[in-house]
């Protein structure tokens, strides 16, 4: 079974404000505001490059950030599940 691929809401549907290490994300379609921590905003930005599964996202993020943790792929998968539950990403 192939890993699920995700897409993010278009940038014009989200407003982001950085707040001392956290981010407030306003999701226009639902009217909900979410408080998220890194790497959630970075995952959303990487998904705007196109649909991706966790491994592809990890590759995209590794181009910009250094990962010392061997469990980074699991962490990305967990964040994707959280973002999906919040309605900020959906399966492609």
Domain count, the chain: 1
The confidence score (pLDDT) of residue 2 equals 84
Among 89, 21, 20, which residue's Cα sits nearest to residue 53? 89
In a domain, 38, yes or no: yes
Q: What CA dihedral angle connects 15, 80, 64 and 66, to 10 degrees?
A: 130
pLDDT value, residue 35: 96
Query: 10-residue block means of pLDDT along the chain (92 residues)?
Result: 90 93 94 94 95 94 82 89 95 94
| Pairing state between β 89-91 and 32-36 | unpaired
Number of Cβ within a 10 Å radius of residue 23: 18
Rounded-to-integer distance, Cα 92 and Cα 71, Å: 24
Domain presence at residue 1: no
Q: Is residue 52, in this structure, part of any structural domain at all?
A: yes
Task: Dihedral sign for Cα 77, 31, 48, 63, please.
Answer: negative
Print the domain residue range for 65.
Answer: 6-91
């Amino acid at each position: 079974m192939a890993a699920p691929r995700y897409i993010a809401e278009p940038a014009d549907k989200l407003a982001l404000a950085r707040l001392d290490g956290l981010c407030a994300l306003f999701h226009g379609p639902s009217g909900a505001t979410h408080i998220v921590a890194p790497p959630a905003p970075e995952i959303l930005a990487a998904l705007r490059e196109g649909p991706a599964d966790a491994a592809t996202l990890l590759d995209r993020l590794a181009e910009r950030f250094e990962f010392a943790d061997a469990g980074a792929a699991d962490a990305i998968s967990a964040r994707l599940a959280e973002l999906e539950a919040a309605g900020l990403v959906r399966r492609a």
